[in-house]
Amino acid sequence: MTEAYNPFSLAGKTVLVTGASSGIGRATAIECSRLGATVVATGRDEARLGETMAALTGKGHVSIQADLTKAEDVSRLVQEMPQIDGLVCNAGITRRRPISFVKEDELQEVFNTNTFACFTLTKAIMKARKMNRGGSMVFVSSMAARQVTPGNAMYAASKAAVESFARSCALEYAPMQIRSNAILPGMVETPMNNEGGLSAEAIERDKQNYLMKRYGKPEEIAWGIIYLLSDAGAWSSGTSMEITC
Ligand SMILES: NC(=O)c1ccc[n+]([C@@H]2O[C@H](COP(=O)([O-])OP(=O)(O)OC[C@H]3O[C@@H](n4cnc5c(N)ncnc54)[C@H](OP(=O)(O)O)[C@@H]3O)[C@@H](O)[C@H]2O)c1
């Protein structure tokens, strides 16, 4: 029997997913494994990382616990991980506060996690030559980078930088046939929404702004990420994909 035709297959590819212990990262790890990838899952919380591992299809997956804001964790992660064909830079946090009330330590925390971790991890992977030729990087930015809302300046600015960084990676790593793209999700049903400081009523009102009158599901973002990781995305680099409605 011939194998089913599927240009979105990830068979034979190894994909590192950051923030794999929750939400979009967990869904991405699961969906990647269902499409044949070997997954390297990373996050801070070992128990939740374990839950992700238990949900993966197939064998050979690894999990490496790491806090991406710590330089020593980033170097250990890169040292321990196998060669990869895909990087999904997804770990992120949100903090809502009007600009005049922004606290310095929160600003640092948001940028360290959302923005600087993308820089340090990518740099470490590339210097260690852990990304194979023909590989693909996907950086999870946000629609919030473009559609600013009150109280969201820290997060929005940190995510706008991620979108820009994805384009710089596309330019600098194209000679190695490595692609890089950003994904910009609208609001997605994940634990992050509970940390955003919005009331249940405000969330319900916000959903009405969407054409489908609902927020996205984590796997609906994962499928866009998979397009960019797979050979179906072979002619996409330096782009930003909005996933929203
Ligand atoms: N949900 C949305 O509406 C939405 C919309 C647009 C974009 N996004 C973006 O999508 C990405 C995933 O968000 P989500 O909604 O899935 O959030 P989530 O459920 O809260 O998951 C966030 C993930 O990031 C990891 N993480 C946070 N800080 C970390 C650190 N210092 N080191 C390593 N890992 C860290 C967490 O790991 P632990 O739990 O193990 O600490 C967790 O796995 C984020 O970048 C977010 O900004 C989300």
207-223 pLDDT per residue, tens: 999 999 999 999 999 99
Mean pLDDT of the chain: 96
Confidence at residue 237, expressed as pLDDT on a 0 to 100 scale = 98
User: How many angstroms separate the CA atoms of 84 and 77, rounded?
Assistant: 12
Best substitution site from 24, 162, 189, 245 to test ligand 1's pocket, by max atoms within 8 Å of Cβ?
24
pLDDT attached to residue 82: 98
**Using CA atoms, how far apart are residues 120 and 244, in angstroms rounded to an integer?**
29
- 45 located within any domain: yes
Name beta bridge partners: 181: 138
Domain CATH number, residue 56:
3.40.50.720
pTM across the whole model:
0.98
190 has a pLDDT exceeding 70? yes
184 forms beta bridges with 242
Give pLDDT, residue 199.
85
What is the distance in A from the centroid of ligand 1 to the CA of 192? Answer: 7
Give the binding-site residues of ligand 1, using a 6 Å CB cut-off: 18-19, 21-25, 43-45, 48, 67-69, 90-93, 113, 140, 142, 185, 187-188, 190-193
- Helix, strand, coil tally for the chain in percent (to 5): 45, 20, 35
Which residues does residue 16 pair with via DSSP β-bridges, in sequence order?
A: 40, 87
pLDDT at 193: 80
Asked if residues 62 and 82 have their Cβ atoms less than 8 Å apart, the reply is yes
Section 95-122 average pLDDT:
97
The pLDDT score that the predictor gives to residue 3 is 76
pLDDT at 8 over 90: yes
Nearest atom in ligand 1 to the alpha carbon of residue 67 is 32
Q: What is the pLDDT of residues 119-165, one digit of tens each?
A: 999 999 999 999 999 999 999 999 999 999 999 999 999 999 999 99
Q: What is the rounded distance in angstroms from the CA atom of residue 4 to the CA atom of residue 110?
A: 43
Rounded distance, CA 184 to CA 17, Å? Answer: 16
The answer as to whether 70 is a domain residue is yes
Q: Is residue 7 part of a domain?
A: no
Structural domains of the chain, count: 1
59 falls within a domain = yes
Contact 24, 140 (CB under 8 A): yes
Is 4 inside a domain boundary? no
Whether residue 197 is predicted with pLDDT greater than 80 in this model: the reply is no
The mean pLDDT of 9-36, rounded to a whole number, is: 98
**Predicted local distance difference test score (pLDDT) of residue 177:** 98
User: Which pLDDT band, with edges at 50, 70 and 90, does 198 fall under?
Assistant: confident
User: Which residue from 92, 229, 115 is spatially nearest to 162, judged by alpha carbons?
Assistant: 115
Q: Please give the number of the atom of ligand 1 that sits closest to the Cα of 49.
A: 40
Among the atoms of ligand 1, which is closest to the Cα of residue 218?
A: 16
Q: Is residue 134 part of a domain?
A: yes
Residue 8 lies in a domain: no
Residue 206 lies in a domain: yes
Question: Which segment of 41-55, 97-111, 118-132, 189-203 scores lowest on mean pLDDT?
Answer: 189-203
Average pLDDT over residues 199-211: 93
Residue 117 structural domain? 14-239
- Look up 155 and say whether it is catalytic: yes
Catalytic entry in 5, 155, 210, 227: 155
> Has residue 2 got a pLDDT over 90?
no
Question: How far is Cα 61 from Cα 119, in angstroms, rounded to an integer?
Answer: 25
How much is the average pLDDT of 63-69?
Answer: 98
User: For residues 127 and 121, what is the distance between their CA atoms, to the nearest angstrom?
Assistant: 10
The pLDDT, as a whole number, for residue 194 is 73
Measured in angstroms, how far is the CA atom of residue 132 from the centroid of ligand 1?
Answer: 26
Candidate from 29-38, 123-132, 136-145, 184-193 with smallest mean pLDDT = 184-193
Q: Reply yes or no on whether the pLDDT at 1 is more than 70.
A: no
Asked whether the beta carbons of 85 and 125 are under 8 A apart, the reply is no
